[in-house]
Amino acid sequence: MTDALIRLRDRLPGLRLSTDPGDLEHYGRDWTRRWTPAPLAVALPASVDEVQAIVRWANDEGVAVVPSGGRTGLSGGAVAANGELVLSLERMNRVLDFDAIDRTLTVQAGAPLEAVQNAARERGLAYPVDFAARGSCSIGGNIATNAGGIRVIRYGNTREWVAGLKVVTGAGDVLELNRALVKNSSGYDLRHLFVASEGTLGIIVEATLRLADPPPPTSVMLLAIPSFEHLMQVFAAFRERVTLEAFEFFTDRAIEHVLAHGGQKPFDDAHPFYVVTEFAVDEEASMAAAMAAFEHCVEHGLVSDGVISQSDAQAAQLWRLREGITESLAKHVPYKNDVSVRISAMPAFLAETQALLGEAYPQFEVVWFGHIGDGNLHINVLKPDGMANAAFVADCEQVTRLLSDALVRHGGSISAEHGIGLVKKSYLLGTRSAGEVALMRGIKRALDPNALMNPGKVFDA
Ligand code: FAD
Ligand code: 2HG
Ligand code: ZN
């Protein structure tokens, strides 16, 4: 243990602190597998006071801190590869308060997303942000990345649901931001600075979340689509007629990878593209409208087959085809793109990107999927067996540069929902202007004067 760590022990004798090599390895990485974990130590505080004392110690000692949630991040934001202290919120995972009148739930930042969803449901309401990592990702991590997921089309990103935050800034001050007020025009809304801050401004220790009405009864449809160009027309046909809760697409390759881990083929024939869509069926008219959308698409050759869920179990089976993709690809160490454009720009962007990547990646398998109804594409390039990761990443980075140029032309973003972290840092200036990045640096200096909060992530200070 270093002298600095001994002094931390002296300040906080009750703090759970580990330098065990297994812990350093485990807590020093996220879902990206590109960096070798090398943190100084892992601290697992149990209270806001302990978090504050750790941050003050870090400032006194000049030790960098990596805030850490469930480490399901896909952009390297929670990676600690340079002797940082990992500050894990894992033990701060309790529901603290529910207010039925405000319809808010206050939780510690380490609470897993699924626990928050369950707590809301038990109180007759809903926390509507949702995605496949729900069991392991934390609310603090969701806020720090402004996580999206499969229901953004209906409910928006995490940002929409953050009513108030308690944070420990990089300078070690505890701030209550917005105090869950619905209306508050009293100056800058500092709460929103922490949304998508990726741990670079301080530590989110508690969040007060807005809750929604329970979701309406829904049905799930799986559609087979013959061609990429039809996707957005199918989307328009459904959006015009039903209240969409989700509209997600994936390719035949994606489905093959998911089915390799079990499950049944949804159709006898293979199709190049699929959409899984969920929509409200709270009145008789809505099911008729969904069927009308389907028939319209079939008549116009936009959809070649379809199946509608007849039970919750069947709905879950259809969803598994979409939600199982990331896990099913993990063993191929994919290089991931997570890009977005405005929905109106999607048809032109899709056409250009498909042509671009078809030409740029003849040697690699590319799997496309994503939240097409939000203008968000996930493009996973699979590493061939036996190829060195560094060489593979270098090849993919060249293509990402071209993709980034296409995003500039179409006014898009290099990170729709996963964050910039380490993975997308060198492309930030394609999405944000130099003026914006300069302001972000200034904001960081104000909240983290010694540049100790997750240094090297998002941009270099
Ligand atoms: P971590 O990975 O631990 O951290 C992420 C970032 O937040 C880091 O920069 C970290 O420093 C910072 N951070 C964490 N906690 C705090 C805190 N308390 N205070 C300050 N900073 C903090 N993401 C989506 O948006 N949509 C999806 O559909 C989606 N699907 C996924 C599916 C799978 C199978 C997997 C593995 C990941 C998926 N993700 C998705 C990515 C990931 O789950 C999200 O980015 C999630 O929000 C990360 O939460 P986490 O707690 O794991 O954060
Ligand atoms: C999803 O939408 C996640 O499933 C993960 O955002 C995307 O694995 C990916 O690239
Ligand atoms: Zn996603």
Mind listing the pLDDT tens digit for each residue in 206-239? 999 999 999 999 999 999 999 989 999 999 999 9
> Of the given ranges (165-179, 283-297, 320-334, 404-418), which has the lowest mean pLDDT?
283-297
Instruction: Write out residues with Cβ below 6 Å of ligand 1.
Output: 30-31, 66-74, 77-78, 89, 109, 131-133, 137-138, 140-142, 144-145, 147-149, 198-199, 203-204, 326-327, 417-418, 421, 454, 457
pLDDT of residue 285: 81
For residue 284, name the pLDDT band (cuts at 50, 70, 90).
confident
Q: Which atom of ligand 1 is nearest to the CA of 132?
A: 32
Nearest CA to ligand 2 atom 2: 370
Residue 118 clears pLDDT 90, i.e. is over it = yes
Residue 461 clears pLDDT 90, i.e. is over it = no
pLDDT average, residue stretch 289-313: 97
CB 212 within 8 A of CB 221: no
30, 42, 71, 74: residue to mutate for ligand 1 pocket, most atoms within 8 A of CB:
74
- Burial (CB count <10 Å: 0-12, 13-18, 19+), residue 292: middle
Q: Which ligand is nearest to the CA of 133?
A: 1
For 395, other C-beta atoms within 10 Å of its C-beta total 17
Candidates 14, 41, 15; CA nearest to 27 is 41
Nearest CA to ligand 2 atom 9: 326
CA atoms within 13 A of residue 243's CA, in its CB half-sphere = 12
- For residue 142 and ligand 2, the question of a CB distance below 6 A is answered with no
249, 378, 380: residue to mutate for ligand 2 pocket, most atoms within 8 A of CB:
378
| Helix %, strand %, coil % of the chain (to 5) | 40, 20, 35
For ligand 3, the distance from its centroid to the CA atom of residue 180, given in whole angstroms, is 28
Residue partners of 327: CB distance under 8 A and separation at least 6: 132, 261
For residue 267, name the pLDDT band (cuts at 50, 70, 90).
very high
Q: 3-class DSSP state for residue 353? A: helix
DSSP letter for each residue of 230-258 = GHHHHHHHHHHHS-EEEEEEEEHHHHHHH
Q: What is the mean pLDDT of the chain?
A: 97
For ligand 3, the distance from its centroid to the CA atom of residue 159, given in whole angstroms, is 16
CA distance to 10, 37, 72, 282, per residue, from 83 (Å): 20, 9, 21, 54
**Residues 239, 243, 249, CA angle at the centre, nearest 5°?**
55
Distance CA 19, CA 24 (A): 6
pLDDT of residue 112: 99
Order of strands across the sheet with 16-18? 16-18, 41-44, 85-88, 65-68
Amino acid at 349: F
For residue 283, name the pLDDT band (cuts at 50, 70, 90).
confident
CA atoms within 13 A of residue 452's CA, in its CB half-sphere = 24
The DSSP letter of residue 332 is G
For ligand 1, the distance from its centroid to the CA atom of residue 72, given in whole angstroms, is 5
For 398, other C-beta atoms within 10 Å of its C-beta total 9
pLDDT of residue 247: 98
For ligand 1, the distance from its centroid to the CA atom of residue 157, given in whole angstroms, is 13
**What's the farthest any 2 CA atoms get from each other in the chain?**
74
Distance CA 228, CA 271 (A): 11
pLDDT average, residue stretch 100-110: 98
pLDDT of residue 337: 98
For ligand 2, the distance from its centroid to the CA atom of residue 279, given in whole angstroms, is 21
pLDDT of residue 361: 86
Residue partners of 122: CB distance under 8 A and separation at least 6: none
Q: 3-class DSSP state for residue 314? A: helix
CA distance to 174, 207, 298, per residue, from 179 (Å): 13, 10, 50
For residue 1, name the pLDDT band (cuts at 50, 70, 90).
confident
Residue 323 clears pLDDT 90, i.e. is over it = yes
Residue 294 clears pLDDT 90, i.e. is over it = yes
The DSSP letter of residue 359 is H
For tokens 């083929």, name the residue.
Answer: 265
pLDDT of residue 155: 98
The domains found in the chain, sorted by start residue, are 3-91 (3.30.43.10), 95-210 (3.30.465.10), 219-323 (3.30.70.2190), 333-413 (3.30.70.2740)
Residue partners of 264: CB distance under 8 A and separation at least 6: 317
Residue 200 clears pLDDT 90, i.e. is over it = yes
Which contiguous run of DSSP H or E holds residue 26?
A: helix 21-27
| Percent of all residues in the chain with a pLDDT value above 90, rounded to a whole number | 97
Distance CA 219, CA 290 (A): 9
For ligand 1, the distance from its centroid to the CA atom of residue 142, given in whole angstroms, is 5
Which contiguous run of DSSP H or E holds residue 339?
A: strand 335-340
Nearest CA to ligand 1 atom 41: 73
pLDDT tens for each residue of 50-65: 999 999 999 999 999 9
pLDDT of residue 252: 96
Q: Which atom of ligand 1 is nearest to the CA of 139?
A: 51
pLDDT of residue 179: 97
pLDDT of residue 310: 94
pLDDT tens for each residue of 384-419: 999 999 999 999 999 999 999 999 999 999 999 999
Q: Which ligand is nearest to the CA of 147?
A: 1
Q: Which ligand is nearest to the CA of 374?
A: 3
pLDDT tens for each residue of 343-375: 999 999 999 999 999 999 889 999 999 999 999
| Percent of all residues in the chain with a pLDDT value above 70, rounded to a whole number | 100
Q: Which ligand is nearest to the CA of 131?
A: 1
pLDDT average, residue stretch 432-455: 98
- For residue 242 and ligand 2, the question of a CB distance below 6 A is answered with no
pLDDT average, residue stretch 44-52: 98
